[in-house]
Amino acid sequence: MDCTVSALQKARMAYAPKLPAAFKAGANVACTEGEKLAAFADTEKITAKFPSTSNMPLLTFAPGNGEKIAKPVNVAVILSGGQAPGGHNVIAGLFDGLKSLHPESKLYGFKGGPSGLTDNKYIEITADFLASYRNTGGFDMIGSGRTKLETTEQFEKAEANCKALGITAIVIIGGDDSNTNACLLAEYYKAKNAGIIVVGCPKTIDGDLKNAYIETSFGFDTASKVYSELIGNIERDANSAKKYWHFIKLMGRSASHIALECGLRTHANVTLISEEVEAKKMATDEVVTILADSIAKRAANGDNFGVALIPEGLIEFIPDFKSLIAELNDLLAKEGEAYAALASNDEKASFIASRLSASSAAVFATLPMEIKMQLTMDRDPHGNVQVSRIETEKLLVELVKNKLAAWKKEGRYNGKFSTQTHFFGYEGRCSMPSNFDADYCYSLGYNASSIISTGKTGYMSSVRNLTEPAEKWIAGAIPLTAMMNMERRHGEDKPVIRKALVELDGAPFRELAKNREKWAVETCYVYPGPIQFFGPAEVADITTMTLALEKGK
Ligand code: FBP
């Protein structure tokens, strides 16, 4: 028996991912140019920053004639940002696509994310090396990182490293921030005629890299299924023991797509949606009241247990906190070093408090020291607050406890409130990809090799029509600049790919809104169970409820 590979992993290695019909004759496709796409917002500023890669046409692919391309291509690939199930299959699809273009084409994996490209840390990806990674989770094949590629020095180093290996195309597999990097790099190389194409692939479990041409980012399907299984298991435990309220924070950084998908799948008693909190300008107390209300109503029925889902980024969407965090971002960008040099938490807290506006200082003052420190931890290299390290679920438990105590005094509540807190994030990011993600990722990678064969740069691999069988998926490419707008990062306005947040008039949110009053009081949990890889399509190949509802299915 092989001790390094599980029986399931072995079986999955034999899985042949499904591809769209456009690739019937290999990756050398027929390409049609569609309408030219400008940036969806801040068009003038984006065009000024990206003169060579703005206003480019949408590309759609159809089967080619099966001929090879004249010369082999050497391509670099990097994995960037947080792990997402299926990343290895993007590389497998890219590898197979490149070999179908020309059998002597080579693929180099730069290690540890964008820094691998500048520090020249790479391996050649061969068929043998790749074999054991097919249809597996994780990014361990070449590693990942969050280094931001933005300086001319970095671009020049990457160019020199690529040129030394005869590389004429770089594929960046990443989320919104990493594809912003891809766009900057594409612009730089095109403007100086460097002869290096840059192509992006939409990755992130958060599900917030999407638009009309990118229907979902890969990894969202698998991660939300893993979390839904765990939530279902907890619901069943809660319903068996009938003694705990479980407050579960779910990854997703800013967007609440994961919380929404899991709420729809499991019928948790409360599913908070950050985007709604922001749109309704809810104060912290209103958010706490939503939770306390469900707890009190269920307690009145004798049910002193339940499950509440809390999106990871919630705190940034509560208006009081949003202003506080925006001030902290600017403050730490300017005075981060002086702050870091302070020794004790008390000194740090007073340093911050003395520099905040009166209203933000007042919110800051109400917080436990732990949360104060979590809010001022280092931002990631893209200037984002590290919400995965802020224990919002624990903060909410404390605030709800206080509210229930007050209600008890008023005779409005007479239950028991015992809690367990959880944070589901890392559990789902490296899971073995679902059939959907295995197929989608392989197709995205294969499609990237087709983009390379067209010689176009500054594009994102786009595979759509995803609620249909893979054969009917539409392959093509969307200009990266079409997804950009200007946002404030590290105290400056910068061009970035816009995060697609939950739309309150979208079908998935409306489905939750229609059911949530009932779910808040009754126990009508659904237990989704583990991802299935084999079996009938309605069990093994189902996609997310989010995608199905968005497509009117
Ligand atoms: P990406 O946007 O890079 O895909 O990362 C997503 C994510 O998983 C978020 O959901 C989470 O907030 C963050 O990464 C955690 O980052 P880290 O791995 O650095 O702790």
pLDDT of 504-521, one tens digit each? Answer: 999 999 999 999 999 999
C-beta of 312 in contact with ligand 1 (< 6 A): yes
Instruction: Give the residue whose CA is nearest to atom 18 of ligand 1.
Output: 82
Instruction: Give the residue whose CA is nearest to atom 6 of ligand 1.
Output: 82
Proportion of the chain above pLDDT 70, given as a percent: 99
What average pLDDT does the segment 66-70 reach?
90
CA of 187 to the centre of ligand 1 (A): 26
Give the CA diameter of the chain: 81
pLDDT one-digit tens code per residue, 412-446: 999 999 999 999 999 999 999 999 999 999 999 99
Q: How far apart are the first and last CA of the chain?
A: 44
Partner residues linked to 145 by β-bridges: 80
Exposure letters 89-111 (e unless 16+ CB within 10 A, then b): bbbbbbbbbbbbbbeebbbbbbb
Residue 53 has pLDDT above 90, yes or no: yes
N residues, the chain = 553
How far is 475 from 488, CA to CA, in rounded Å? 33
How far is 165 from 465, CA to CA, in rounded Å? 37
Q: Which residue of the set 206, 221, 303, 320 is catalytic?
A: 206
Q: What are phi and psi of 464, to 5 degrees?
A: -130, -175
Instruction: Give the residue whose CA is nearest to atom 16 of ligand 1.
Output: 82
pLDDT one-digit tens code per residue, 295-331: 999 999 999 999 999 999 999 999 988 889 889 988 9
Give the closest residue to 180 by CA, choosing from 489, 486, 461, 480: 480
Range of lowest pLDDT (69-73, 304-308, 455-459): 69-73
Give the closest residue to 460 by CA, choosing from 203, 163, 257: 203
What average pLDDT does the segment 46-61 reach?
96
Q: What angle do CA 326, 327, 332 make, to 5 degrees?
A: 100
Q: What is the DSSP string of 154-184?
A: HHHHHHHHHHHTTEEEEEEEE-HHHHHHHHH
Element (H, E) at 98: helix 87-101
Instruction: Give the residue whose CA is nearest to atom 5 of ligand 1.
Output: 82
CA of 203 to the centre of ligand 1 (A): 11
Residue 178 alpha carbon, nearest atom of ligand 1: 3
How far is 276 from 283, CA to CA, in rounded Å? 12
C-beta of 313 in contact with ligand 1 (< 6 A): no
pLDDT score, position 382? 65
Residue 488 has pLDDT above 90, yes or no: no
Element (H, E) at 122: strand 122-125
Residues with Cβ within 8 Å of residue 409, at least 6 apart in sequence: none
pLDDT one-digit tens code per residue, 373-392: 988 887 776 677 787 888 99
The answer to whether 237 is a known catalytic residue is: no
CA of 393 to the centre of ligand 1 (A): 18
Q: Strands 270-271 and 245-250, how do they pair?
A: unpaired
User: pLDDT class for 368, splitting at 50, 70, 90?
Assistant: confident
User: How does the average pLDDT of the chain come out, rounded?
Assistant: 95
User: pLDDT class for 3, splitting at 50, 70, 90?
Assistant: low
CA of 81 to the centre of ligand 1 (A): 7
C-beta of 81 in contact with ligand 1 (< 6 A): yes
Which residue's structure tokens are 């989320």? 175
Residues with Cβ within 8 Å of residue 5, at least 6 apart in sequence: 13, 132
Range of lowest pLDDT (146-150, 333-337, 384-388): 384-388
Three-state secondary structure call for residue 267: coil
pLDDT score, position 229? 98
CA of 82 to the centre of ligand 1 (A): 4
Single-letter residue type at 441: C
Instruction: Give the residue whose CA is nearest to atom 19 of ligand 1.
Output: 82
CB-based contact 143:79 (threshold 8 Å): yes
Exposure letters 336-375 (e unless 16+ CB within 10 A, then b): eeebeeeeeeeebbebbeebbeeebeebbeebeeebbbbb
How far is 207 from 202, CA to CA, in rounded Å? 9
pLDDT score, position 1? 41
How far is 51 from 55, CA to CA, in rounded Å? 9
Which residue's structure tokens are 């015992």? 418
pLDDT one-digit tens code per residue, 231-290: 999 999 999 999 999 999 999 989 999 999 999 999 999 999 999 999 999 999 999 999
pTM: 0.94
Residue 291 has pLDDT above 50, yes or no: yes
What average pLDDT does the segment 203-218 reach?
96
Residue 544 has pLDDT above 80, yes or no: yes
